Structure 1
Amino acid sequence: MANRRRRLRVLHPPPRSPLPPGRQRTLRLHQTHRSHRPHPPRGRRLSRLLARKHRHHQYRADGPLPAISRRRNLCRLRDPPARRRPHPLQDHPDRPRLRPDPACHPLARSVWNHYSLNHDRAHLARLYAAMARYDAWLTTYRDTRGTGGVEAFCTYDTGHDLSARFWHVPDSPFGNDPTRCDPDNPVLPFIAPDLTANVICQRLYLARIAEELGEDPQPWRDKAQASLKALFTHCYDPDDHFFYDRDRNGTLVRVQSDVLLRVLACEVGDDAFFAEALSRYLLNTAKFFAKYPFTSMALDDPRFDPSFGQNSWSGPSNFLSIIRAAHAFEHHHRHVELTWAQMPVLSALFAMDTFPQTLSPFTGAPGYTEKYAPAILCLLDMVERLCGILPRPDGTLWFTGLVPREATHRHIDHHTAYRRKVDGHTFELLNDGITATLYRDGEKRFTFPHGTRLTTDRSSKLQAITGMVARTVTGTIETPNGNLDVSIGPNEVQSFQNGQLATTRTPDLVPPTYG
């Protein structure tokens, strides 16, 4: 029982533990009708949820930082016995494992981003050694067919509970041993595209970490390239432009699920490849672009099940997919398209009194469970991206001039205010739906048009502006050194050079499709 309590304390930090310097933030939101009358029920509900939750979680563009701090225990692992898969939350290596954890989100990328923001070299070195051992474990035990891909032995390997992807496949590995696959199952093991893509991305970031630590990064890059070749050789259908599992008989498991989004979030494919996936699938209302995206199964698949009252990955939208989607879109500079998915989900969250795992893709109603951490982080992350202040791993800050939009019923004018500290300075961003105003330590720094995003360095020196809506925005940026006229299209980036704005990325937009 003592061990159980200790593990829970790792997962849930004490409520009053202070945030590290430079990472504190507050957020307040208020709303008014067009008649400027207060709209207290939703406003109070959201403020109450944020006030209760935001103090205890740090998060960044690539996922929640609590995950990084919790994974400190991973670096304590000794070389594990073959029967026990290394476990990132395992503080006692001799404790028996109950089941393997899904490995579909690259830990090395989160570690690298954490290091970029916090510069803890010793911690980076410890985690690098642990992740290298984990990579070796996967190579030893999860490529039984010698394809170079990573194999799934059971449903829990990817966390796709109740998904049609894993019909007639056991939930747990054979004998609850993650090194063994049921020899009597007629379809296992699967060469899994999401597990393989995770290893590709993992190895690319391990290469970055190795180089930072003074080691040779090339072996990791060579391994990543070999995994990429295996992914496209065994799991990709060029006619469908989709990734599928391949079973032991060499047959593709043609279930169109959120596996595609998982692979793309692992930085597989170039900008053109991603744009094609957007048009055919992610922004297709017959596939995954429901009213409250993204569904966990293609809407036109006969196995699609919209039931959202249980832990299901065979239809309903899941908050874990929603929060992971941001990296896939932003990696390919699809900022506007990402807002189309986030705005309705944020609107649905406004009306919720819980933080569920699932929500109805048709109505936005809350589904299974009530205290789901990814949903909490999703709310904070979307507010930060849409109308807040986001520190980036590259040392920049994003200030986004958007306001939440209602997904149903009548229009409501939203005003937002977001405050956080960065490097000891207090930044505040005010959005009224017409302009956005940025303050630093109480002094006004910039006013810029609604529908744009300012990028600055960490001292608020202007670097660029990005178009964040599906139209050309024309207006003025008020700066301490004078005004700048701006006219910017969707996803266009204009960099601030020699006292003026110059286009460095041309406008581009992938519209929704319908079948």
Structure 2
Amino acid sequence: MTSVLEPAVRTPVTDRDAANPGDTAEAALRRDAAHVLLSNWTGAATVPSRTLYPHQWSWDSAFIAIGLRHLSPRRAQRELETLLGAQWGDGRVPHIVFNRAVPLDAYFPSPDFWRSSSAGAVCGAPADIETSGIVQPPVHALATWQVHRADPAESRRRGFLRRMYPRLAAWHRWLASSRDLGGGGLAAIVHPWEPGLDNSPVWDAALARVEPAPPESFRRADLDHSAAADRPTDLDYGRYVRLAATYRDHGYDDAVAPHAFALEDPGFNALLIASEHALAAIAEEAGADPAPHRERAAAATAALVGRLWSPEAGVFLARDLVTGEAIRAYSVSGLVPLIVPGLPEDVVRALVATAHGEHFGLGRAHMVPSYDLTGPVFDANRYWRGPSWFNTAWLVHHGLALHGQSEAAALLRAQVLDDAAATGFAEYVEPWSGQGRGIRRFSWTAALALDLLRQPDAGRPAHRTKEGEPRR
């Protein structure tokens, strides 16, 4: 088992540690990160932010649990249990679990748009919990295993893995069956929100096929909390709404829904593979057979390389299942497969060279830009069209460490800690200046900074720049 899947057991940070951290930069950052997570806790889960994202998000909660385990393994377990408690009967884990105490107009699309309990009833949507009908990247088994490892005794006492294993196995089965729309052994995405890179330029051509919903048919709540220049455009949103409404109106059933947007994304599938390896470890601990999970991970790795690897580009490319063509664009999603154990050595070498090259500028730009720095539609400020994000940097960091790229991994870890501290745990940053963009006090930024601080070789932030100061 690899270090990314089986980190060393950590001693949890106590409330006293968080309240009296000392006066070092590392201790101050740990204290501040802990405060973000504690203040965004709702009693059963952690919201990404108290303003723009007032509900529970799927892959956010997985990343949050990875950091939260250092404060309270029990609370980290609860985070994942709450999310998986909203799992549908068909196995899918919805990308939003709605808090019924939050007003409908606080976020769009709201529960009355998704209508999961009625529209999704045929697919087993919960009758008593409102959720969305789409999904997000499957980081959950990976997070579950790391949370267990934070306090195995407490995890075993509570039967955490025994309860989580069948739910996680059902989630992976659904992705491998209902979502293998290309028939090649990879899971497909059917909405730009599903891979988490909402408005990436990678999706532009596929989205152009989608007739947008009329602008008067919905009201965006995101612009109440974030600058329009940082967010997806109204045209993007119209297409997002159209795709979600069409899926809803076909009962969220992939067998009958007419998917105008269907792609195989390398980052989504890499996370599924990493989580399949973690699920093998979970199965073994829970008394189940780990062999099927290892076999599926190996088969999916072969499919990932066979279908999405581009030796010419030196990066993994998304494939449009409607046209059958690879999308020749450099996205951070194409670097995320570094987290896959057993990736061929020539592929690893090429990915590392691409990360350091002109497209991503590893070591020169802040963290890892979400899109090609040299691309014609690169936008340094607008959401996933260029800015650098903390969660994808964390994934690339672990991938570099996994494959023995210790110097590059250490540099990226220091950048994540620097930028988290300098921006007040911003949602993401402008890749050249490091200026924080989007929401501050963002939960996964705090959680992943806390996780990197707890790594044995993390050290303290190496060069804390002022927000917006260019990296030298």
SS in 2 for 1:252: coil
Identical columns (%): 21
Whichever residue aligns with residue 319 of structure 2, its letter is R
2:463 equivalent in structure 1: 405
1:376 equivalent in structure 2: 446
In 1, the alpha carbon distance for the partners of 2:163 and 2:96 equals: 13
In 2, the alpha carbon distance for the partners of 1:379 and 1:135 equals: 28
Aligned: 1:198 with 2:235: no
Aligned: 1:218 with 2:291: yes
Of residues 244, 247, 250, the one that matches 1:175 is 247
Q: Which structure features the higher share of strand residues?
A: 1
Does the CA contact (< 8 Å) of 1:73 and 1:88 recur in 2?
no
**TM-score under structure 2 length normalisation:** 0.66
Q: CA deviation at 1:299?
A: 0.8
In 2, the alpha carbon distance for the partners of 1:261 and 1:380 equals: 23
Of residues 67, 72, 80, the one that matches 1:71 is 80
SS in 2 for 1:152: coil
In 2, the alpha carbon distance for the partners of 1:403 and 1:351 equals: 10
Does the CA contact (< 8 Å) of 2:355 and 2:361 recur in 1?
yes
Whichever residue aligns with residue 335 of structure 1, its letter is S
Does the CA contact (< 8 Å) of 1:54 and 1:380 recur in 2?
no
Q: CA deviation at 1:297?
A: 0.4
> 1:349/1:79 Cα in 2 relative to 1: closer, same or farther (>3 Å)?
closer
Whichever residue aligns with residue 246 of structure 1, its letter is R
In 2, the alpha carbon distance for the partners of 1:206 and 1:263 equals: 18
> 1:45/1:360 Cα in 2 relative to 1: closer, same or farther (>3 Å)?
farther
> 1:47/1:298 Cα in 2 relative to 1: closer, same or farther (>3 Å)?
same
2:408 equivalent in structure 1: 337
Q: CA deviation at 1:237?
A: 1.3
Whichever residue aligns with residue 395 of structure 2, its letter is R
In 1, the alpha carbon distance for the partners of 2:33 and 2:278 equals: 33
1:459 equivalent in structure 2: none
Does the CA contact (< 8 Å) of 1:153 and 1:182 recur in 2?
no
Q: CA deviation at 1:67?
A: 5.4
Q: CA deviation at 1:357?
A: 0.9
Name the structure, 1 or 2, with higher relative contact order (CA <8 Å, separation 6+). Answer: 2
Whichever residue aligns with residue 169 of structure 2, its letter is A
2:182 equivalent in structure 1: 145
Aligned: 1:250 with 2:244: no
Aligned: 1:363 with 2:363: no
SS in 1 for 2:267: helix
> 1:236/1:400 Cα in 2 relative to 1: closer, same or farther (>3 Å)?
closer
In 2, the alpha carbon distance for the partners of 1:148 and 1:179 equals: 19
Of residues 203, 210, 213, the one that matches 1:166 is 203
2:136 equivalent in structure 1: 102
In 2, the alpha carbon distance for the partners of 1:297 and 1:375 equals: 19
Q: Which runs of 5+ in 1 are unaligned?
A: 1-19, 32-42, 391-397, 410-515
Q: CA deviation at 1:217?
A: 1.7
In 2, the alpha carbon distance for the partners of 1:118 and 1:46 equals: 23
Q: Which structure features the higher share of helix residues?
A: 2
1:207 equivalent in structure 2: 280
Larger Rg: 1
Does the CA contact (< 8 Å) of 1:355 and 1:375 recur in 2?
yes
1:260 equivalent in structure 2: 334
Whichever residue aligns with residue 264 of structure 2, its letter is I
In 2, the alpha carbon distance for the partners of 1:85 and 1:62 equals: 18
Of residues 158, 161, 166, the one that matches 1:124 is 161
SS in 1 for 2:292: helix
> 1:293/1:72 Cα in 2 relative to 1: closer, same or farther (>3 Å)?
same
Does the CA contact (< 8 Å) of 2:339 and 2:398 recur in 1?
yes
SS in 2 for 1:197: helix
Aligned: 1:317 with 2:350: no
Whichever residue aligns with residue 286 of structure 2, its letter is L
SS in 1 for 2:22: strand
RMSD of aligned alpha carbons:
3.6
- Work out the number of aligned pairs and report it: 359
Q: CA deviation at 1:141?
A: 1.7
1:14 equivalent in structure 2: none
In 2, the alpha carbon distance for the partners of 1:239 and 1:48 equals: 45
Of residues 113, 135, 143, the one that matches 2:172 is 135
In 2, the alpha carbon distance for the partners of 1:116 and 1:48 equals: 22
Of residues 350, 353, 372, the one that matches 1:276 is 350
Q: How do 1:476-487 residues align onto structure 2 when only pairs under 5 Å count?
A: none
Q: CA deviation at 1:361?
A: 0.7
Q: Deviations over 1:102-156 (max 9, x none)?
A: 1153x21221122222122311011101011112222332012322110111101
Does the CA contact (< 8 Å) of 2:360 and 2:368 recur in 1?
no
SS in 1 for 2:351: helix
2:116 equivalent in structure 1: none
